[in-house]
Amino acid sequence: MANPGGGAVCNGKLHNHKKQSNGSQSRNCTKNGIVKEGQQNGKPHFYDKLIVESFEEAPLHVMVFTYMGYGIGTLFGYLRDFLRNWGIEKCNAAVERKEQKDFVPLYQDFENFYTRNLYMRIRDNWNRPICSAPGPLFDVMERVSDDYNWTFRFTGRVIKDVINMGSYNFLGLAAKYDESMRTIKDVLEAYGTGVASTRHEMGTLDKHKELEDLVAKFLNVEAAMVFGMGFATNSMNIPALVGKGCLILSDELNHASLVLGARLSGATIRIFKHNNTQSLEKLLRDAVIYGQPRTRRAWKKILILVEGVYSMEGSIVHLPQIIALKKKYKAYLYVDEAHSIGAVGPTGRGVTEFFGLDPHEVDVLMGTFTKSFGASGGYIAGRKDLVDYLRVHSHSAVYASSMSPPIAEQIIRSLKLIMGLDGTTQGLQRVQRLAKNTRYFRQRLQEMGFIIYGNENASVVPLLLYMPDLKHAWTKGIRKTKGRVMASL
Amino acid sequence: MATATEQWVLVEMVQALYEEKEELIEEWQPEPLVPPVPKDHPALNYNIVSGPPSHKIVVNGKECINFASFNFLGLLDNPRVKAAALASLKKYGVGTCGPRGFYGTFDVHLDLEDRLAKFMKTEEAIIYSYGFATIASAIPAYSKRGDIVFVDRAACFAIQKGLQASRSDIKLFKHNDMADLERLLKEQEIEDQKNPRKARVTRRFIVVEGLYMNTGTICPLPELVKLKYKYKARIFLEESLSFGVLGEHGRGVTEHYGIKIDDIDLISANMENALASIGGFCCGRSFVIDHQRLSGQGYCFSASLPPLLAAAAIEALNIMEENPGIFAVLKEKCRQIHKALQGISGLKVVGESLSPAFHLQLEESTGSREQDVRLLQEIVDQHSGCGHGGTNRGRTGESCVHHQGGSPGRPALGRVPGPWLPATQHAERTQDSRWPWRGLKESKNMCIFDRIVTKWCQYGPIV
């Protein structure tokens, strides 16, 4: 597996000809594959703590075994496909209707090869149903498979009090009903569950207005707008901001919603290496100097798409450097804080607060309410003219229904808790405890010898297992740990 | 080996180039991130609704009769639905904190999928957490680059976005015109014969809506099924408006026409209209639906539906199954209102008499789109002055236009039929609805307005 953080390792070797000192005089020491990027303080407001990120490479024998594992799985896959085609082995998958047998096949054989032969073997690790709130302990429904994961059967038993390490419930705000959720009950009884209209028509409730004001206050920006689904927030608003003739510079490991939004916009997309400011700068320089391909006309706008915390890597974006680049090359910055809002920063305000930066320096702040706030939906915040433009032109506001009232109330309640507006310091305590727990957890896992990716402050902890069958063994082993069962991915 | 002078010249050139590049960087001015919007744009001054958007709705502080929400069966403020949602809130809290693959699957979701599959009499159903994302994720899961999709010109925006994301070849046929569709299919057949190898791997799809949002008409499903078997294309049916409305038991347009449900490959609907919840679902055979569990973007990469909304949808389904009579009541009311609005001069009703959502279009356009929109907005404003909550879709009348990559309203293909007012019908209009009237000064708009109100008053007490 290539070292994604390899860019940072090469820092010392690359010739640094940048005029400004945006902290690029980095000393890098690599020890056991852990890269510590030390920044020298060029400007007074820069983040001057060490960024500790690790993207350790796997040892050679692990890589060999992993490839072998996949290779054997593939060979067996071909063998079983052959047996299934000749009728020697029973085919458990669903098949096309008899009447439609002469239609063009809906799925190409190879598309489904991986699903049929490799994914099916370890399918029981995903989509596990639970039957309680996703708090720190939850109840998992027991299910077994009689035919090697083709179908599942619920035994009816419930495994109670499983330690939850799999839900994105960072601050523990998605919990069973208690008295503090009284307002949600009231709103549910007053407003009902649905809205049955779009924002432009009859779908703007007073709850939405209250929520938007609160979100703007929380993030310390001028205005905000909320949407019913986080995925839809990205995929429907990026096309409203950029179009043909614009350039999107998107990180290698961006989320599917950002990629979809970028593709739907019709702009040209260029990818830069994950969290690699050198790669981004090169692309920016080329874009500004040479303009559009073929016509050499200047680009209308350049939009940089990054995430606050990357969910599959656990890395935090190098925001100070990117903001410096954006200022120099006059690009616009769009930060998707789905996993970082409420979870990083001393008071949970996100990556801007984590780095000590002014939120006005980021042009478009986007985030979701699913993770830290225990609800669903997304928001976009920034300057007032940006939000006004989105109110008018966003596809979501015109064609999709607005957020459900009890969900809006839950977000209002969570925001008030985190901001301390309910009179307690519970919110702040939760954020601080999360930070402490994250660092402790990561440190202990590393001491135990596991390979962990990402920044030490990111609450998403990817623990690499590499081999597909190890995943299976891991889950079985985890279940037997001392009577207390743990659920993870 | 370059001499000293040549080396010196080279260094100078490189430096000059470098300085030139820096100059280019300094000179370049991008467009502003967002162009300015006029301050008086209606979208910036929303109609703020306080209270539930049910039969009577409080808009901007005034109480009106609601003609604008898609609450067809009136289940939004049904006490049973609310009680079910409350019970779910007490047990599960609000959010699910994870996508379906990562401990975001609750037993309520599995229940809802089961119930929907049983209700629609299909093998399997899959739920999405947002209505818009349902069809917009379903289409790209099956149709990829190189496949061919035949879609109606009046398809809704969500379908357009799904098609755009799929990067397939799109062939538009005239709205509800089966002859045009057949012509396109025949042309495709001729193309196939020229290149049979390519034809063997090119999938074909026909995407239609049960009840079109943009025109209020029903698609001719029996002819479509015939065409399907003749030309070997699969049908994707979008039933957002017709689910819970058409058919004897509310099963949609397939029940309305008496077509076997297996003939339709995929039925997609959203739960935001008749089921008074949030979210959407797709149903069909397992062979088709199971694929979306790994390749539906809105399913895999998005958090799952909050359990209280799923519980509300289950209860709404229960109510639908227990009282199949409400569908007949709804149809009757639609017919009556449709008849009542027929005779008004200056406005014509666009839509089937069975459809609960129809449009009032200006009979003669003033010539300019902006003027039409303004005229309609005046009618709507005076409407609300008199206590009817209507909505002007003039600014969103662009929804029927196909656009590729541009912002809504920039027609790339298809004709813009003109701005209109949609009105929706609720099953719960009871006998004691009285239409408040206030005398207003004369003007051309007023004449139209007077006539609308007069007609409604005549038919006021609708059972």
pLDDT digits (tens, 9 = 90+) for A208-218: 999 999 999 99
pLDDT for position A481: 57
The verdict on a CB contact (< 8 Å) between B94 and A184 is yes
B-contacting residues in A 81-100 (Cβ below 8 Å): 94-97, 99-100
The verdict on a CB contact (< 8 Å) between B302 and A231 is yes
Tracing tokens 């003109």 back to the chain, one arrives at: B418
Do the beta carbons of residue A475 and residue A123 sit within 8 Å? no
The verdict on a CB contact (< 8 Å) between B234 and A103 is yes
For B186, the 3-state DSSP assignment is helix
Nearest neighbour of A400 by CB, restricted to B71, B130, B407: B130
Q: Bigger pLDDT: A197 or A261?
A: A261
Tracing tokens 């920063």 back to the chain, one arrives at: A345
Of the candidates A220, A211, A222, which has an alpha carbon nearest to the alpha carbon of residue A416?
A211
* Residue A329: C-alpha distances to residues A274, A283, A292, A460 (Å): 19, 11, 15, 32
The verdict on a CB contact (< 8 Å) between B232 and A232 is no
User: In the A/B pair of chains, how many CB contacts fall below 8 A?
Assistant: 359
Task: Determine contact: B462 vs chain A, CB below 8 A.
Answer: no
Confidence of residue A324 (pLDDT cuts 50, 70, 90): very high
pLDDT for position A59: 84
The order of strands in the sheet holding B347-350 is B347-350, B357-362, B420-424
Q: Mutate one of B230, B278, B291, B391 to test the A interface: name it (highest A CB count within 10 A).
A: B278
Write out chain B residues lying below 8 Å of A392, CB-based.
Answer: 37, 41, 43-44
**Res. A327: pLDDT tops 50:** yes
Residue B79, classified by CB atoms within 10 Å of its CB into exposed (0-12), middle (13-18) or buried (19+), is exposed
The verdict on a CB contact (< 8 Å) between B93 and A174 is yes
Q: Which of A67-76, A288-297, B209-218, B431-440 has the lowest mean pLDDT?
A: B431-440
- Beta-carbon contacts of A64 under 8 Å, excluding residues fewer than 6 positions away, are none
A392: number of Cβ within 10 Å: 18
**Burial call B227-240: b when 16+ CB within 10 Å, e when fewer:** bbeebbbbbbbbbb
Extract the tokens encoding B312.
Answer: 């509300």
Write out chain B residues lying below 8 Å of A371, CB-based.
Answer: 97
Task: Determine contact: A178 vs chain B, CB below 8 A.
Answer: no
The string of DSSP letters for A122-165 reads GGGGSS-EE-S--SSEEEEEEEE-SSTTSS-EEEEEEEEEEEE-
Amino acid of residue B392: N
User: Residue B380: closest CA among chain A residues belongs to which residue?
Assistant: A201
Q: Bigger pLDDT: B382 or A124?
A: A124
Nearest neighbour of B302 by CB, restricted to A185, A230, A374: A230
| Calpha distance A354→B217 (Å, rounded) | 54
Q: Bigger pLDDT: A264 or B392?
A: A264
The verdict on a CB contact (< 8 Å) between B106 and A266 is no
A-contacting residues in B 258-287 (Cβ below 8 Å): 262, 271-273, 275-278, 285-287
| Calpha distance A411→A35 (Å, rounded) | 38
Q: Which of A24, A235, A250, A311 is catalytic?
A: A311
Extract the tokens encoding B205.
Answer: 């799809």
Write out chain B residues lying below 8 Å of A96, CB-based.
Answer: 287
A449/chain B closest Cα distance in angstroms: 25
The verdict on a CB contact (< 8 Å) between B30 and A332 is yes
Q: Name the helix (H) or strand (E) containing B59.
A: strand B56-59
ipTM of the complex: 0.84
Question: Pairing state of beta strands A247-251 and A302-307?
Answer: parallel
Task: Determine contact: A331 vs chain B, CB below 8 A.
Answer: yes
Nearest neighbour of B37 by CB, restricted to A102, A289, A389: A389
Do the beta carbons of residue A50 and residue A38 sit within 8 Å? yes
pLDDT for position B386: 52
User: Residue A233: closest CA among chain B residues belongs to which residue?
Assistant: B133
Do the beta carbons of residue A142 and residue A155 sit within 8 Å? yes
**Res. A6: pLDDT tops 60:** no
Write out chain B residues lying below 8 Å of A237, CB-based.
Answer: none
Residue A378: left (phi > 0), alpha (psi -120 to 50), or beta? beta
| Calpha distance A309→A301 (Å, rounded) | 25
Of the candidates A107, A79, A103, which has an alpha carbon nearest to the alpha carbon of residue A93?
A107
Write out chain A residues lying below 8 Å of B294, CB-based.
Answer: 115, 119
The verdict on a CB contact (< 8 Å) between B303 and A230 is yes
Write out chain B residues lying below 8 Å of A369, CB-based.
Answer: 95
- Rounded (10°) angle between helices A405-419 and A206-219: 30
A370: number of Cβ within 10 Å: 30
Q: Which of A255, A257, A339, A396 is catalytic?
A: A339
The verdict on a CB contact (< 8 Å) between B51 and A330 is no
Q: Which of A255, A274, A326, A371 is catalytic?
A: A371
Do the beta carbons of residue B136 and residue B298 sit within 8 Å? yes
pLDDT for position A199: 82
**Burial call A422-443: b when 16+ CB within 10 Å, e when fewer:** eeeeebbebbeebbeebeeebe
Amino acid of residue B344: I
Across the range A184-197, mean pLDDT stands at 87
Task: Determine contact: A377 vs chain B, CB below 8 A.
Answer: no
Task: Determine contact: B156 vs chain A, CB below 8 A.
Answer: yes
| Calpha distance B285→B313 (Å, rounded) | 22
Compute the 3-state secondary structure of chain B and give helix, strand, coil in percent, each to the nearest 5.
45, 15, 40
- The mean pLDDT value of chain A amounts to 82
Confidence of residue A16 (pLDDT cuts 50, 70, 90): very low
Specify the length of chain A in residues.
Answer: 489
**Res. A221: pLDDT tops 90:** yes
Name the range with the highest mean pLDDT among A19-33, A65-79, B355-369: A65-79
**Percentage above 70 pLDDT, chain A:** 86
Determine the distance from the C-alpha atom of residue A439 to the mean position of all C-alpha atoms in its chain, rounded to a whole number.
19
* Residue B30: C-alpha distances to residues A248, A299, A360 (Å): 13, 7, 19
Task: Determine contact: A29 vs chain B, CB below 8 A.
Answer: no
Nearest neighbour of B105 by CB, restricted to A128, A363, A404: A128
pLDDT for position A33: 39
User: Residue B100: closest CA among chain A residues belongs to which residue?
Assistant: A127
Do the beta carbons of residue B395 and residue A200 sit within 8 Å? yes
Angle (nearest 5°) at CA B52 between B47 and B58: 45
**Res. A409: pLDDT tops 80:** yes
Write out chain B residues lying below 8 Å of A199, CB-based.
Answer: 46
Nearest neighbour of B165 by CB, restricted to A201, A260, A406: A260
A476 counts as catalytic? no
| Calpha distance A183→A410 (Å, rounded) | 8
Of the candidates B356, B374, B347, which has an alpha carbon nearest to the alpha carbon of residue B451?
B347
Extract the tokens encoding B63.
Answer: 């109480």
pLDDT digits (tens, 9 = 90+) for B65-91: 877 788 888 888 889 999 999 999 999
**Burial call A261-297: b when 16+ CB within 10 Å, e when fewer:** bbbbbbbbebbbbbbbbbbbbebbbebbeebeeeeee
Q: Mutate one of A201, A247, A296 to test the B interface: name it (highest B CB count within 10 A).
A: A201
B168/chain A closest Cα distance in angstroms: 13
A209 counts as catalytic? no
B190: number of Cβ within 10 Å: 8
B-contacting residues in A 348-367 (Cβ below 8 Å): 363-364
- Reading chain B (463 residues) residue by residue, the pLDDT tens digits are 557 777 777 888 888 888 888 888 888 888 888 888 888 777 777 778 887 877 788 888 888 887 778 888 888 888 999 999 999 999 998 888 888 888 889 999 999 999 999 999 999 999 999 999 999 999 999 998 989 999 999 899 999 999 999 999 999 999 999 999 999 999 999 999 999 898 888 999 999 999 888 888 999 999 999 999 999 999 999 998 899 888 889 899 999 999 999 999 999 998 988 888 899 999 999 989 988 988 889 899 999 999 999 999 999 999 999 988 888 888 888 888 888 888 777 777 888 888 887 777 777 766 777 777 777 777 766 666 555 555 544 333 222 222 222 223 222 222 223 344 445 545 444 333 322 222 222 333 333 444 444 444 333 322 2
- Beta-carbon contacts of B245 under 8 Å, excluding residues fewer than 6 positions away, are B72, B211, B252, B273, B274, B327, B330, B354, B355, B356
pTM: 0.83
Amino acid of residue A25: Q
A49 counts as catalytic? no
